[in-house]
């Protein structure tokens, strides 16, 4: 009894001591450690941070999700890393030199992992799979997925890309009707087109047919997950740092959660049906076409299981992989094509050069194959320049698993590393004083720093380079061959319907960029005016 009373008597004192220790810890890690003890304290970087929120408020208030980081790059162009404070005083390093890019993406690639908050932020939208695999698991899964993204597979998929591009042209015809010109909102229109392509190439199905079986379409569910309103975006950001998703009663949170649940169930149904079809031999793919990704994965898993007597992928593993590709394969590709049309509509000299090259090809080869399209030099340079200036996936994040020394900088274990792709793509030290100018001809003869593979990070580099880069490049090129050969793009329409054009050279001039956003895209849509070519 005395012991019990003693414990009750001491409890307030214990609670006070715990509270004092927490306050001291908070004070040390937010105020003292970053300023006086951190080995990173001597690195250049902004000091105008909020005590609790660091630079995060400034990042979200910027005109684009990369504006403030580009400002830092220009302020400290020679620093391999730029240091800034994030939430609760956490130090973050921004990669800022070619040598640092190479070290993070190649030399020490498996000494880094995705930060847990990044996995929560992006993983709940894209799924897990290869994107979040680490170490030996990443190497193994990358080998398994090499086949469906190989050049031979892309050669077989080109007819699908061409067919969907022709369907897109038919949408343009409907919009135009008997009018001399019309305007197309590119983001929405192209997103639907590229999602249709993903349905055939990744899932092996017609999404229109699939949509008739469910209350909401695949496209609608992905749109709800990818493009949340302000409250939904705020919840996602907070949830990345503090897992609050399952506790919030807000409608925006319920809609997001329900959409992700419905997507998973839809994919589970597709996977189980395809597994049964493969097992009983009723699944038939079209002769001469590459296997869709889902079928390839299921067959590969079955083969490996027979060899090793171990399960390679569970249904949830496959869902994680398959969810990722509609995000990267339709959102990113649609955004890239939209920016391509923006450039063509606002720079008619570039448009005329591209059309001339495509017309020369089609004059002798009306149905060009993969190699013929890939051999067009100006088209290739144009697409690379679009990806340099407007990289759809603009950010990757890493976290050190051990202490590292890179470019004479001692980086403690657990340090967050930000890879902001436009920093490399718009650095004058890499691309010269005209780094902000759209110029496809710069790719004709790269020299100096621009010739480094780490100067171009649209798909990242090294062992974690995006496996779908061949897929994305040939899909974009196939769509441009179709559209540029049939349509002339006159300009970009402003909010009042006025035509904005005239050879704009600066990056994204006059276009409001979505912030926050997982992709670098126009905030309020992009309306491109077009007419039939030859009229």
pLDDT in the model for residue 151: 84
Asked whether 201 and 164 are in contact (CB, 8 A), the reply is no
DSSP alpha helix (H) spans, 309-439:
315-326, 333-346, 348-364, 370-374, 377-389, 421-425, 428-431
- Percentages of the chain per state (helix, strand, coil), in multiples of 5: 60, 10, 30
- Average pLDDT over the chain, rounded to an integer: 83
The two counts, helices (H) then strands (E), for the chain are: 21, 11
Please tell me the pTM assigned to this model: 0.85
- CB atoms < 10 A from the CB of 504, how many? 19
Residue 74 has pLDDT above 80, yes or no: yes
Q: Rounded CA gap, 287 and 290, in Å?
A: 9
| Beta-bridge partner residues of 531 | 488
Q: What is the mean pLDDT of residues 260-272?
A: 85
Note the pLDDT tens digit of each residue in 451-477. 999 999 999 999 888 888 898 999 999
Distance CA(25)–CA(29), nearest Å, equals: 6
Domain topology for 41-117+394-434+443-457: 3.30.43
What tens digit of pLDDT does each residue of 130-170 get? 444 555 555 556 666 666 778 888 888 899 899 999 999 99
pLDDT band, residue 326 (cuts 50/70/90):
low
Which one, of 391, 389, 381, lies nearest residue 442 by Cα?
Answer: 381
pLDDT at 260 over 50: yes
The yes-or-no verdict on residue 274 having pLDDT over 70 is yes
Question: Nearest 5 degrees, angle CA 76-CA 77-CA 78?
Answer: 95
Instruction: Write out the two tokens for 140.
Output: 């193994």
Length of the chain: 535
DSSP letter for each residue of 148-200: GGSHHHHHHHHHHHHHHHHHHHHHHHHHHTTSS-EEEEHHHHHHHHHHHHHII
What phi-psi label fits residue 88: left (phi over 0), alpha (psi between -120 and 50 degrees) or beta? left
* Closest to 197 in 3D by CA, of 188, 185, 189, 205: 205
- Name which of 345, 408, 318 is nearest 99 in CA terms: 408
> What token pair was written down for 461?
């580099």
Cβ–Cβ under 8 Å, residues 339 and 386: yes
158 Cβ neighbours under 8 A, 6+ residues apart: 369, 370, 373, 474, 478
pLDDT given for residue 60 in this prediction: 87
Closest C-alpha to 390, from 64, 55, 57, 56: 64
Q: Which two tokens stand for residue 447?
A: 């020299």
Q: Distance (Å, rounded) from C-alpha 516 to C-alpha 398?
A: 19
Q: Does position 285 have pLDDT exceeding 80, yes or no? A: no
> How many Å separate Cα 275 from the centre of its chain?
29
Locate the domains of the chain by residue range. Answer: 41-117+394-434+443-457
Write down the pLDDT at residue 34. Answer: 84
**Alpha-carbon torsion angle 296, 297, 303, 305, nearest 10:** -170
Query: Which pLDDT score, from 0 to 100, does residue 323 have?
Result: 72
Residues 6+ apart with CB under 8 A from 161: 197, 474, 475, 478, 479
**pLDDT score of 282 more than 80:** no
Considering only residues 22 and 363, tell me which one the structure prediction assigns the higher pLDDT.
Answer: 363
> How many whole angstroms separate alpha carbon 187 and alpha carbon 166?
17
Could you tell me the two tokens for 49? 């941070």
Query: In this structure, are residues 212 and 521 in contact, taking their beta carbons and an 8 Å threshold?
Result: no
Please report the beta strands in 373-526, taking only residues with DSSP state E, as ranges in sequence order.
Answer: 395-400, 404-406, 409-411, 416-420, 487-493, 499-500
**pLDDT value, residue 52:** 82
Long-range CB pairs of 133-136 (<8 Å, 24+ gap) are 134/110, 135/110
* Distance in angstroms (rounded) separating the CA atoms of residues 93 and 86: 10
CA proximity to 388, closest of 340, 328, 429: 340
* pLDDT in the model for residue 68: 97
pLDDT at 505 over 50: no
Task: Give the residue among 85, 96, 33 at the shortest CA–CA distance from 55.
Answer: 85
Q: Which residue has the tokens 């798909």?
A: 459
Q: What is the mean pLDDT of residues 279-286?
A: 72
From the list 153, 154, 152, the residue with the least C-alpha distance to 477 is 154
- Contact partners, residue 130, CB within 8 Å, separation at least 6: 138, 141, 142, 145, 321, 324, 467
Q: Say how far apart CA 521 and CA 508 lie, in whole Å.
A: 10
pLDDT of res. 398: 92
**Backbone torsions φ then ψ of 213, nearest 5 degrees:** -95, -10
Please check the confidence at residue 297 and state whether its pLDDT lies above 70. Answer: yes
Give the integer Cα–Cα distance in Å for 460 and 395. Answer: 10
pLDDT for 493:
85
**Mean pLDDT in residue range 43-47:** 96
Cβ atoms of 327 and 194 within 8 Å: the answer is no
């Amino acid at each position: 009894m005395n012991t019990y009373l003693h414990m009750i008597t001491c409890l307030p004192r214990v609670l006070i001591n715990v509270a004092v220790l927490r306050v001291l810890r908070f004070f040390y890690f937010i105020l003292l450690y970053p300023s006086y003890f951190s080995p990173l304290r001597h690195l250049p970087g902004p000091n105008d941070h909020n005590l609790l929120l660091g630079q995060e408020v400034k990042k979200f208030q910027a005109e684009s999700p990369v504006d403030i980081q580009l400002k830092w790059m220009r302020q400290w162009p020679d620093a391999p890393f730029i240091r800034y404070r994030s939430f609760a005083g956490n130090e973050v390093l921004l990669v800022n030199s070619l040598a640092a890019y190479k070290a993070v993406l190649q030399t020490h690639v498996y000494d880094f992992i995705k930060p847990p908050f990044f996995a929560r932020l992006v993983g709940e939208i894209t799924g897990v799979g290869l994107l979040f695999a680490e170490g030996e698991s990443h190497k193994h899964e990358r080998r398994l997925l090499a086949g469906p993204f190989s050049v031979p597979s892309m050669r077989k998929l080109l007819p699908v890309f061409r067919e969907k591009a022709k369907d897109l042209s038919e949408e343009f015809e409907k919009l135009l009707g008997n009018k001399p010109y019309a305007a197309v909102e590119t983001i929405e229109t192209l997103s639907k087109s590229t999602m249709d392509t993903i349905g055939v190439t990744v899932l092996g199905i017609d999404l229109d047919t699939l949509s008739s079986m469910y209350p909401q379409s695949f496209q609608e569910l992905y749109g709800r997950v990818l493009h949340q309103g302000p409250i939904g975006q705020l919840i996602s950001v907070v949830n990345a740092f503090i897992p609050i998703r399952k506790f919030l009663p807000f409608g925006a949170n319920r809609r997001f959660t329900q959409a992700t649940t419905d997507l998973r169930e839809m994919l589970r149904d597709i996977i189980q049906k395809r597994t049964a079809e493969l097992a009983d031999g009723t699944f038939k793919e079209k002769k001469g076409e590459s296997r869709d990704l889902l079928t390839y994965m299921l067959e590969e898993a079955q083969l490996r299981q027979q060899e090793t007597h171990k399960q390679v992928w569970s249904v949830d593993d496959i869902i994680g992989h398959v969810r990722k590709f509609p995000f990267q394969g339709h959102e990113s590709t649609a955004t890239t094509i939209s920016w391509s049309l923006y450039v063509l509509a606002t720079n008619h000299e570039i448009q005329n050069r591209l059309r001339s090259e495509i017309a020369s090809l089609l004059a002798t080869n009306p149905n060009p194959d993969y190699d013929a399209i890939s051999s067009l030099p100006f088209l290739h340079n144009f697409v690379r320049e679009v990806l340099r200036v407007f990289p759809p996936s603009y950010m990757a994040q890493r976290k050190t698993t051990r202490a590292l020394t890179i470019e004479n900088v001692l980086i403690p274990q657990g340090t967050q590393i930000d890879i902001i792709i436009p920093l490399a793509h718009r650095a004058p030290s890499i691309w010269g004083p005209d780094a902000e100018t759209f110029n496809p001809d710069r790719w004709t003869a790269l020299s100096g720093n621009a010739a480094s593979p780490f100067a171009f990070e649209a798909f990242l580099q090294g062992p974690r380079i995006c496996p779908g880069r061949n897929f994305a490049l040939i899909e974009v090129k196939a769509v441009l061959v179709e559209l540029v050969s049939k349509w002339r793009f006159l300009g970009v329409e402003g909010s009042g319907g006025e035509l904005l054009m005239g050879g704009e050279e600066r990056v994204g001039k006059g276009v409001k960029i979505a912030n926050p956003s997982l992709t670098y895209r126009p905030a309020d849509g992009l309306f491109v005016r077009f007419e039939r070519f030859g009229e």
